[in-house]
Structure formats: structure tokens, C-alpha cells
């Protein structure tokens, strides 16, 4: 088993992916040879969900800036989706120099001090182009300066069997001594021309729970809004959903939030239920979200899609096993 440290773990989307052993859309994602030995986040409610779904003895609610490296166990892999609000294209007030934008430095510090074989970092697409790519280049350089060769790719979760168009940049870092043995390759797209439709997550439009429907006033407000606003982005069940975000509990018809049009004639719109949102992110139905519905929505929207991350983790597994085989042959 390869030992994994999970930073900024949230409820555990990435951790579900790297461990595997779950079913989504009637497909089994096999158990991978990774053991979660440490998970940390500043959000206790998210960690409450994490603890309900994973067997990990070291789950720590603490600011990573206050966590010393020697408090973190040695490991083979460090995983982290450092906070992305400062880089996100859906955040019009983003400040690339606020404290959250510098949290990548904490992941660099942990990687530098623990020297895992591999690290996997995830963030939003906007990080690649912010300030003409200068910030992204700075992040890459920081990881390379502590002894890693980096590989980057812009992933669309829909290309890997997730019923959602969610673009995220993935950085895989290979420790230089291992990269000298063999270079890493990202997993090939499994659903490039065969996207999974939203209907997998939303089997029926009309539901009984009235609380998920928008009021007549909200619909009228959308109709009265300026024409240049992106209004009522209702989704086609035959296509992947647009990106779901952490404010799913407060979605608006006068925003870029994806919603459902239940009845065009009656102008009935509704938001996704927590279960539907979790499915859109490719969580298995058995995954438990602790806290209120608002807490669940936030945890789901902030998560890394498990199915997409499973494919990345599987490629890392294959890489590490190949490197070990090469090293054994060279030692003979």
C-alpha cells in the first residue's frame, strides 16, 4: 500500500477517488493500493463528513499554516486541492494576492519536507491564465525548486465519465530521482466522445419537495432582468451539467448557476437536491454528508469529482508500479 497525505481534504472527493472501491453510474471503480494516513482541513463540518466515509486515524481540523511538517506522517503521495476562490472565473471579486492564493506555498512546504514520491495538486482553470500565466508559472517553479518534475493538464470531468462539464487543472509532480527512471503520462480520456448525460444524476424533473422550487417572484425577477444577463440556465438532461459550485443552496435564476426547468408552460424551475448534486459530482449514493443541507451543498460544490480523480490515481499507481519493475530489473 502506498501511503497518502490529503491536504485541504474537505469532505473527501479526492480521497474517495484515490482509494476507489465505489460504484457510480452502475460502474465499479476498483480499490486502489493507497492508504489514507492523514487528512486535514480547516472546515470541521467537512471533516465530519470525511470521518463518516473513510477509515483514517489522523483527521485534523487545523489551519495548514499552523501545522508543522513533523506533525504530518511520512508518505508516498501528497494530494491537495488548495483553495481556488482567488483564481476562479466564477468569482468576479477574485484577488490573486489574498491569503488563500498563497496557500499553495503550504503544500509546497509539505512536499519539500516530506519528499513523497508523487504529489497531485488540483485547481480551477482560471489559475492557468490569471495575470497572463505568471501566478501559474510561479506555482510550478516553486514545486520544481523542491525537487520535482511537474506535469500539467487541463481536465474536463465530462471526458472521464462525470455528468458535468467541470474543467480543472491537475499538476502531478514526480520526484526527480523517479522521473529519471521513467516519465509520467496522464490517463487517456475514457468518455471523450461519449459524455454521460445529466439524466444519470437527475432521473426525473418533477419532484414532490416544494422547497427545491423557485418562487413565482424569483421567476418574474428573472424575466424582468436585463437581456445581457445569463438568466435561468436550465440544463438539458441529455447533456452533462454545467459546473456546480459551493453556493448550491443559494442558487439564483439571475446568475450562471445551473438549474432545472421542470415545466416550461407553468414556468416551474427548481434547484438540484443534495443527492442530485452529489451525483453530478460523481459521488456514490452511499456517501454520507454530515450537517445541514447547506453544509452538504457547500461540501459537494467544493469537492473534486471522485470518478475523475480515480482515473488520475490509477495512472499514478500504474506509474509507480512500472518504476518499481524497472528498478528491480536494473538491480538484477
pLDDT in tens, 180-228: 999 999 999 999 989 999 999 999 999 999 999 999 999 988 888 755 5
If asked whether residues 111 and 251 sit together in one domain, one would say no
Q: Is 153:170 a contact under the CB 8 Å cutoff? A: yes
Determine the pLDDT at residue 224.
81
On the question of pLDDT at 93 being above 70, the answer is no
If asked whether residues 249 and 320 sit together in one domain, one would say no
If asked whether residues 102 and 182 sit together in one domain, one would say yes
What span, in angstroms and rounded, lies between the C-alpha atoms of 91 and 47? 25
- Residue 295 counted as domain residue: no
- Residue 301 counted as domain residue: no
If asked whether residues 107 and 212 sit together in one domain, one would say no
If asked whether residues 26 and 136 sit together in one domain, one would say yes
- Residue 93 counted as domain residue: yes
Instruction: Extract the C-alpha cell encoding 124.
Output: 480551477
Which listed residue (11, 56, 84, 241) is catalytic? Answer: 84
If asked whether residues 238 and 115 sit together in one domain, one would say no
Determine the pLDDT at residue 252.
84
Find the range with the poorest average confidence among 123-127, 253-257, 317-321: 253-257
Provide mean pLDDT across the span 106-121. 98
If asked whether residues 31 and 139 sit together in one domain, one would say yes
Determine the pLDDT at residue 91.
45
Which residues span the domain enclosing 74?
2-188+306-331
- Residue 74 counted as domain residue: yes
- Residue 298 counted as domain residue: no
Domain count for the chain: 2
Provide mean pLDDT across the span 314-326. 97
The SS3 assignment for 140 reads: helix
Domain closes at, from 264, 280, 296: 280
Express as a percent the part of the chain with pLDDT over 90.
81
If asked whether residues 29 and 105 sit together in one domain, one would say yes
- Residue 37 counted as domain residue: yes
If asked whether residues 148 and 42 sit together in one domain, one would say yes
If asked whether residues 170 and 316 sit together in one domain, one would say yes
Q: Is 241 a catalytic residue?
A: no
If asked whether residues 50 and 105 sit together in one domain, one would say yes
Close Cβ partners of 162 (under 8 Å, ≥ 6 residues apart): 196, 240, 280, 281, 282, 305, 307, 308
What span, in angstroms and rounded, lies between the C-alpha atoms of 230 and 133? 27
Model confidence over 31-61: pLDDT tens digits? 999 999 999 999 999 999 999 999 999 999 9
What span, in angstroms and rounded, lies between the C-alpha atoms of 112 and 142? 10
Provide mean pLDDT across the span 311-331. 94
Q: What's phi and psi for 183, nearest 5 deg?
A: -85, 155
Model confidence over 279-306: pLDDT tens digits? 999 999 999 999 999 999 999 999 999 9
- Residue 143 counted as domain residue: yes
CATH classification of the domain holding 314: 3.40.50.150
- Residue 39 counted as domain residue: yes
If asked whether residues 29 and 144 sit together in one domain, one would say yes
Amino acid at each position: 500500500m502506498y501511503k497518502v497525505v490529503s491536504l485541504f481534504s474537505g469532505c473527501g472527493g479526492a480521497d474517495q477517488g484515490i482509494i476507489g472501491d465505489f460504484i457510480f453510474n452502475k460502474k465499479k471503480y476498483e480499490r486502489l493500493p493507497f492508504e489514507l494516513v492523514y487528512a486535514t482541513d480547516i472546515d470541521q463540518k467537512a471533516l465530519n463528513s470525511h470521518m463518516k466515509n473513510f477509515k483514517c486515524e489522523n483527521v485534523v481540523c487545523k489551519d495548514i499554516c499552523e501545522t508543522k511538517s513533523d506533525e504530518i506522517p511520512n508518505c508516498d503521495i501528497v494530494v491537495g486541492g488548495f483553495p481556488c476562490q482567488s483564481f476562479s472565473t466564477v468569482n468576479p471579486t477574485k484577488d490573486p494576492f489574498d491569503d488563500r492564493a498563497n496557500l499553495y506555498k503550504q503544500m509546497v512546504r509539505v512536499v519539500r519536507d516530506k519528499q513523497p514520491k508523487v504529489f497531485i495538486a488540483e485547481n480551477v482553470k482560471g489559475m492557468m491564465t490569471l495575470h497572463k500565466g505568471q501566478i501559474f508559472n510561479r506555482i510550478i517553479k516553486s514545486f520544481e525548486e523542491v525537487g520535482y518534475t511537474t506535469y500539467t493538464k487541463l481536465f474536463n470531468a465530462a471526458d472521464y465519465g462525470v455528468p458535468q462539464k467541470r474543467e480543472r487543472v491537475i499538476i502531478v509532480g514526480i520526484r526527480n530521482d523517479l522521473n529519471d527512471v521513467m516519465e509520467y503520462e496522464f490517463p487517456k480520456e475514457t468518455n471523450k466522445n461519449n459524455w454521460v448525460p445529466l439524466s444519470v444524476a437527475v432521473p426525473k424533473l418533477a419532484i414532490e419537495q416544494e422547497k427545491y422550487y423557485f418562487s413565482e417572484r424569483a421567476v418574474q425577477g428573472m424575466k424582468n432582468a436585463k437581456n445581457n444577463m445569463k438568466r435561468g440556465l436550465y440544463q438539458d438532461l441529455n447533456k452533462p451539467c454545467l459546473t456546480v459550485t459551493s453556493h448550491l443552496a443559494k442558487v439564483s435564476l439571475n446568475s450562471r448557476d445551473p438549474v432545472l426547468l421542470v415545466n416550461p408552460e407553468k414556468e416551474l424551475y427548481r434547484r438540484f437536491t443534495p443527492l442530485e448534486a452529489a451525483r453530478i459530482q460523481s459521488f456514490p449514493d452511499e456517501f454520507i454528508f454530515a450537517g445541514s443541507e447547506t453544509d452538504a451543498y457547500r461540501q459537494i460544490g467544493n469537492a473534486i469529482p471522485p470518478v475523475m480523480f480515480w482515473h488520475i490515481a490509477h495512472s499514478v499507481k500504474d506509474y509507480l508500479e512500472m518504476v518499481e519493475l524497472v528498478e528491480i530489473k536494473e538491480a538484477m
